[in-house]
Amino acid sequence: MALPIRRFPFPLSRCWLLALAALLAGCAAGCRHAAAPPVSVSAQPASAVPAGARPLFQDAAATAGIHFAQKNGATGKFYYIEETGGGCAFFDYDNDGYLDVLLIQSGPFPRKRDDADPATHSALYHNNGDGTFTDVTAGSGLDKDLGYCQGVAVGDYDNDGYDDLYITGYGGNHLLHNEHGSGKFTDVTAKAGVGDTDQGPRYATSAAFGDYDNDGRLDLYVCHYGRWSPETNRICKSVRGEPDYCTPDVLDTDVDRLYHNNGDGTFTDVSKRSGIASEKGHGLGLVWTDYDGDGRPDIYVCNDLTPAFLWHNEGQGTFKDVAAQAGCAYDENGQNMAGMGIAIGDYNNSGRESLFVTNFSALPNTLFQLQPGGTFQSMSTAANLAMPHMPFLAFGCDFLDYDADGWKDLIVANGHVTTHVDENAPGTTYRERKQLFHNDGDGRFTEITDNLGDLATPTVSRGLATGDYDNDGHIDVLVNNQNGPAQLFHNDVENGNHWVSFKTVGTKSNRDGYHAKITVFCGGKRYFSAVHSGSSYASHSDSRLYFGLGRATRIDRVEIRWPSGTKDLLNNVNPDAIYIVTEGKGITGRQPTGKRRLHSHDAR
Amino acid sequence: MTVRAGTPTLPTAARRPAAAVRLLAVLILCALLAVAWSVRSWLHTAAIHDHLDRAEAAARTGQIQQALAEWQAAIRLDPKNPRIYEMRIQFCMDTGQWARAEEALHALQQALPQTAHIYCRLAACRLRQDDQKDALDLAKEELKHDPNCVAALGLVTSAMAMQPSADEKLRLEYLSRLCRLVPNDINFQHMYAEALTNLYRYDDLRPVVAKILQLDPRDAEAYNLLGYADLASPDQPAGLQRAEQDFQTSLALNPANGGAHFGLGRVALRQGRAKEAVAQLEEGLQMRPEAVRINFDLSQAYRMAGMPKQAEAANQRFLQWQHLSTETRRLEVRCLVYPQDPRYPRQLGLLLAQNGGDPAKAAYYLKKTLQLAPGDPAALAALRRLQPASHPDSLEQATRASATPFR
């Protein structure tokens, strides 16, 4: 989270000083005066719903029974960690085919661990399958004080068929084992050795599971923001002198952590051995991606005002940062990004997944288009994603084909970190609306500013996850907001487009099928996606792969390449369904689909 | 008329000469006093002029101490005369003696507190000594007294431009005001245009560029700015074509124009014309070697053109610069946040001094280190190596060498 920096592409002349000196020499003789009203600048306004139009997204949280509000615990001491929580997750903990919801709580800081204090609990909501949720936090194991939490990673680390949780925070992370979908999670952090406390308190943000050695067991990467403690915390001043949070320059950078899964419920810290401890940064967002298609998952990490990392998996358990060589370390002007969140997706249907990195206000969000050969080219401006972002400070984000037209669109959750920003920065506000960018199919995006529905409501957003929580074939959005209610945006688009979705189950590969690559061939077109852990900011989106098919009513074939090397070819796949695909077996089941029973707007 | 008994009286005719004598005596006395006052005044003024003449003569020959002593003597003779202060201030500012100019301004402020535009000149002195923070504060103080003081507005905006973090909203507001106060000053229009470019506010930029071109239709830099606006325009690829035209126009107006070559290089890069991108960017860098960041684009162009070795070399140059730039920013922020900690100004001063950074900035932070940690050997050594010409012993010599008539 950085204040704006100089970013004119070329050094500005300092001759202004000389001109001023000349001007000053004559100033005593009388300066010029005139009436000069102040200039006004502002962000492009967005309308919730124009008269007669149906909103694209409506916040269904309250009607669906989600009443969670994140509290960052700010008390005026401007603790740095208050700025960055918290994440959220769409995941199906009981394998009933419907996405459940996890919302991460930060709470007061500092505090004594008090399991009885609900203000410290994250919240788990069970999806009832009818568009409503039930709060099942009590007794789940999440009704414990897990410390000042920031984010969440989801993955079946023990391959027992049920997704487990890894919750990050300041002063210690927690691995919560899913007890076979019973709704109970057991804290196995100590046994697993992933508490992240052995070198003193660390400030962990995003984390994600991935299988870097393709041994079928999920390893774990944890981002660290920097070396911080309440004792060394500083209160800085805003540009107008008010007390404020400091910029990241004040914190020492930190190394991230990589844990190798030993397969017996324990992990080994391989940060040094693997090479990822060779670089320090202000880590915020990460995603596992095999960007060069060599079959070995790599890791992309975006850092705040330090260069991003692209940890190329060199094999033999080692990684090398190649971000600068690959062209994704800096924005398109060669500036450090204040990278918060990452979206990954094949937005141009090239068969390659590009990266999108969110940024601070007055700095462009960056779209790194993956080129053949494993290099990236910044296309932010060409794709029209740089300029519309300028007034906003963005965290969570994801590619989502919200209108199922076969082109992945983009959603961005915004919310500033500087409470006084309304007065200090042109056109920028502390609470900000979300941004939805429609993919025009020609490499460019158009920001949707009309008909946004509740996406237009200004909030201070952090984590964002996408997923079809009611299995109606439309991707919905979950957002965790600072000091405000969480939002569950139901996608209300009704355009008759078709779609298909796949839940991957690995057998030789990791059980979640993370890193599996699916290509759908349909009506002469080709759609590609890989199963990811991580992405967005400190959050986890629906692991099922969703493909919008437009008007196509028939799928020609589907190819699945598993991380183990296994390939599955599916024929006779019908659209508008969610398939369970098992490695080596093809389609082994379907999940329930259909119209949700309770619309957000039905209850209004 | 009644006459009291016992009082001698003179006839009216006899009293007239006596009164006349007395009047005459008074007049003579007055005249003498006037003459004496005039003589004294003349002598006083002559003495002041004498000091001023000697000060001027000393200043012309570079005898700074002598000149300052003469002005001081003149001020002692006439402590409420603003012109003497102004002359001393003017001399110090003209000859770049910013610390002495500050002293003179403070003296003027003490003697004549109502003097206008003291703060903006103090700010100029601070800015010239690379103390951006104080400069900004002083210029802002001036704006409290005179919100439309052009000099203070110019200073505030300049100081803000050099700060690691600044109130961009306020800066744009000031620049906008400046441009409305002095609409025909092309320098201020350029400042405003560059600030808008930095903030990617291309829609606001276009009318400012139009104004610049109205003032000077042959302003090559304005076409460069327009080119960057078109590069970022949402209507690609049409925007790229317009940008190319803008940069070509700029180049036609001023062939020695690194910025236009960079722009043309970027256009070519975006259009996949790798060889042309390489040629343009290389030419631009040759003209403006200080624009190290362009190695970022050049590296991509080399890579696209199938020149991996050159790409790697350019990338290394960029990374080195980027590292220096990031570290500089980090340390600048820390100097602000930890103003009493000598580690950060020392690190920053040494970093800049040893890596070819701005020598004035390096000197400022090294001096700051010495204020916080007197006698710091590393800072002292670096400062000596950095600025032998600015050492007090050689200051007069340097001033004499560059002295220009100041009146």
SS (HEC) of chain B: CCCCCCCCCCCHHHHHHHHHHHHHHHHHHHHHHHHHHHHHHHHHHHHHHHHHHHHHHHHHCCCHHHHHHHHHHHHHHCCCCHHHHHHHHHHHHHCCCHHHHHHHHHHHHHHCCCCCCHHHHHHHHHHHCCCHHHHHHHHHHHHHHCCCCHHHHHHHHHHHHCCCCCCHHHHHHHHHHHHHHCCCCHHHHHHHHHHHHHCCCHHHHHHHHHHHHHHCCCCHHHHHHHHHHHHCCCCCCHHHHHHHHHHHHHHHHCCCCHHHHHHHHHHHHHCCCHHHHHHHHHHHHHHCCCCCCHHHHHHHHHHHCCCHHHHHHHHHHHHHHHHHHHHHHHHHHHHHHCCCCCHHHHHHHHHHHHCCCCHHHHHHHHHHHHHHCCCCHHHHHHHHHHCHHHCHHHHHHHHHHCCCCCC
Q: Is B236 on the interface with A (CB under 8 A)?
A: yes
Q: For residue A205, which of A136, A311, A284, A304 has the smallest C-alpha distance?
A: A284
Q: pLDDT-based confidence at A12, cuts 50/70/90?
A: very low
Residue A223 has a pLDDT of 98
Residue B25 has pLDDT above 60, yes or no: yes
For residues B226-243, one letter each, b for 16 or more C-beta atoms within 10 angstroms of the residue's C-beta and e for the rest, the string is bbbbbbbbbebeebbebb
Which residues from chain B sit within 8 angstroms of residue A306, using beta carbons? Answer: 326
Segment (H or E) for A22: helix A15-25
Q: pLDDT-based confidence at B152, cuts 50/70/90?
A: confident
Q: Any idea what DSSP says for residue A387?
A: G
Residues 6+ apart with CB under 8 A from A554: A522, A523, A574, A575
Judge contact between B53 and B61, C-beta under 8 A: no
Please calculate the CA angle B54-B58-B60 and round it to the nearest 5 degrees: 120
The residue-averaged pLDDT of A374-400 equals 91
Report the C-alpha dihedral over residues B47, B48, B51, B55, rounded to 10 degrees. -160
Q: pLDDT-based confidence at A13, cuts 50/70/90?
A: very low
Q: pLDDT-based confidence at A48, cuts 50/70/90?
A: low
Find the largest Cα–Cα distance for chain A: 89
Judge contact between A445 and A438, C-beta under 8 A: yes
Q: Which ranges of A426-498 would DSSP assign to H, the alpha helix?
A: none
Q: Which residue of B has its CA nearest to A426?
A: B169
Cα–chain center distance at A217: 23
CA distances (Å), origin A282, targets A13, A192, A285, A338, A510: 32, 26, 10, 9, 30
More confident residue, A78 or B40: A78
* Residue range A120-172, pLDDT digits in tens: 999 999 999 999 999 999 999 999 999 999 999 999 999 999 999 999 999 99
Residue A315 has pLDDT above 70, yes or no: yes
Q: Which amino acid is at B385?
A: R
Question: CB distance A4–B150 less than 8 Å?
Answer: no
Residue B233 has a pLDDT of 83
Find the largest Cα–Cα distance for chain B: 133
The terminus-to-terminus CA distance of chain B in angstroms comes to 72
Segment (H or E) for A324: helix A323-326
Given its phi and psi angles, is residue B340 left (phi above 0), alpha (psi -120 to 50 degrees) or beta? alpha
User: How many secondary structure helices (H) and strands (E) does chain A include?
Assistant: 6, 40
The residue-averaged pLDDT of A236-249 equals 86
Q: Which of B95, B165, B202 to mutate to test the interface with A (most CBs of A within 10 A)?
A: B165
Judge contact between A219 and A210, C-beta under 8 A: yes
Residues 6+ apart with CB under 8 A from B241: none
Q: Which of B155, B197, B330 sits opposite A8 (nearest CB)?
A: B197
Q: pLDDT-based confidence at B155, cuts 50/70/90?
A: confident
Residue B44 has pLDDT above 90, yes or no: no
What sign does the CA torsion over B251, B255, B257, B258 have? Answer: positive
Q: pLDDT-based confidence at A3, cuts 50/70/90?
A: very low
Question: CB distance B151–A7 less than 8 Å?
Answer: no
Residues 6+ apart with CB under 8 A from B169: A41, A423, A424, A425, A426
Q: For residue B220, which of B253, B267, B258, B256 has the smallest C-alpha distance?
A: B253
| Alpha-carbon gap, residue A516 to A545, rounded angstroms | 10
Segment (H or E) for A357: strand A354-357
Which residues from chain B sit within 8 angstroms of residue A386, using beta carbons? Answer: 200, 232
Residue A403 has a pLDDT of 97
| Alpha-carbon gap, residue A231 to A208, rounded angstroms | 29
Residue B371 has pLDDT above 60, yes or no: yes
Residue A14 has pLDDT above 70, yes or no: no
Q: Which amino acid is at B139?
A: A
For residues A476-498, one letter each, b for 16 or more C-beta atoms within 10 angstroms of the residue's C-beta and e for the rest, the string is bbbbbbbbbbbbbbbbbbeeebb
Lowest mean pLDDT among A37-51, A210-224, A412-426, B278-292: A37-51
| Alpha-carbon gap, residue B228 to B211, rounded angstroms | 17
The residue-averaged pLDDT of A276-298 equals 97
Q: Which residue of A has its CA nearest to B124?
A: A21
Residue A229: CB atoms within 10 Å: 14
* Residue range A434-456, pLDDT digits in tens: 999 999 999 999 999 888 999 99
Q: pLDDT-based confidence at A45, cuts 50/70/90?
A: low
Q: pLDDT-based confidence at A327, cuts 50/70/90?
A: very high
- pTM for the full predicted model: 0.82
Which residues from chain B sit within 8 angstroms of residue A426, using beta carbons? Answer: 168-169, 172, 199, 201
Q: Which residue of B has its CA nearest to A445?
A: B234
Mean pLDDT of chain B: 86
* Residue range A81-111, pLDDT digits in tens: 999 999 999 999 999 999 999 999 999 998 8
Residue A565 has a pLDDT of 96
Length of chain A: 604
Lowest mean pLDDT among B44-48, B162-166, B311-315: B162-166
Q: For residue A213, which of A286, A318, A310 has the smallest C-alpha distance?
A: A318
- The residue assigned the tokens 């960041």 is B293
Q: Given the DSSP bridges, would you call strands A342-345 and A204-210 parallel, antiparallel or unpaired?
A: unpaired
C-alpha distance from A305 to closest chain B C-alpha (Å): 8
Residue B10 has a pLDDT of 56
Residue A117 has a pLDDT of 87
More confident residue, B257 or A116: B257
Judge contact between A268 and A247, C-beta under 8 A: no
Q: Is A94 on the interface with B (CB under 8 A)?
A: no
Question: CB distance B177–A21 less than 8 Å?
Answer: no
Q: Is B71 on the interface with A (CB under 8 A)?
A: no
Residue A418 has a pLDDT of 84
Residues 6+ apart with CB under 8 A from A352: A346, A370, A371, A372, A528
Residue A381 has a pLDDT of 85
For residues B28-67, one letter each, b for 16 or more C-beta atoms within 10 angstroms of the residue's C-beta and e for the rest, the string is eeeeeeeeeeeeeeeeeeeebeebbebbbebbeebbbebb
| Alpha-carbon gap, residue A515 to A566, rounded angstroms | 12
Residues 6+ apart with CB under 8 A from B86: A28, B108
The residue-averaged pLDDT of B132-156 equals 86
| Alpha-carbon gap, residue B216 to B193, rounded angstroms | 14
Three-state DSSP class for A282? coil
Question: CB distance A250–B315 less than 8 Å?
Answer: no
Residue B17 has pLDDT above 80, yes or no: no
Q: pLDDT-based confidence at A179, cuts 50/70/90?
A: very high
The residue-averaged pLDDT of A364-378 equals 93
Residue A483 has pLDDT above 70, yes or no: yes
Residue A537 has pLDDT above 90, yes or no: yes
CA distances (Å), origin B12, targets A500, B9, B83, B284, B374: 135, 9, 57, 105, 89
Judge contact between B80 and B112, C-beta under 8 A: yes
Residue A20 has a pLDDT of 45
Judge contact between A377 and A327, C-beta under 8 A: yes
C-alpha distance from B70 to closest chain A C-alpha (Å): 22
10 Å CB burial of residue B396 (0-12, 13-18, 19+) is: middle
Residue B96 has a pLDDT of 85
Q: Is A327 on the interface with B (CB under 8 A)?
A: yes
Question: CB distance B181–A34 less than 8 Å?
Answer: yes
Residue B56 has a pLDDT of 87
C-alpha distance from A253 to closest chain B C-alpha (Å): 11
Residue B367 has pLDDT above 70, yes or no: yes
Residue A597 has pLDDT above 70, yes or no: no
Which residues from chain B sit within 8 angstroms of residue A24, using beta carbons? Answer: 93, 120-121, 124, 151, 155
Residue B114 has pLDDT above 70, yes or no: yes
Q: For residue A4, which of B168, B204, B195, B291 has the smallest C-alpha distance?
A: B168
The two three-digit tokens of residue B187, written as one number: 């320098």
CB proximity under 8 Å: A 347-366 to B: 362, 364
Q: Give the number of C-alpha atoms closer than 13 A to the C-alpha of residue A340, restricted to the C-beta side.
A: 34
Please calculate the CA angle B296-B298-B301 and round it to the nearest 5 degrees: 120
Q: Given the DSSP bridges, would you call strands A69-70 and A100-103 parallel, antiparallel or unpaired?
A: unpaired
Q: Any idea what DSSP says for residue A12?
A: P
| Alpha-carbon gap, residue B322 to B327, rounded angstroms | 8
Q: pLDDT-based confidence at A54, cuts 50/70/90?
A: confident
Specify which of A9-13, A36-40, A518-522, B128-132 reaches the highest per-range mean pLDDT. A518-522
* Residue range A107-131, pLDDT digits in tens: 999 888 788 888 899 999 999 999 9
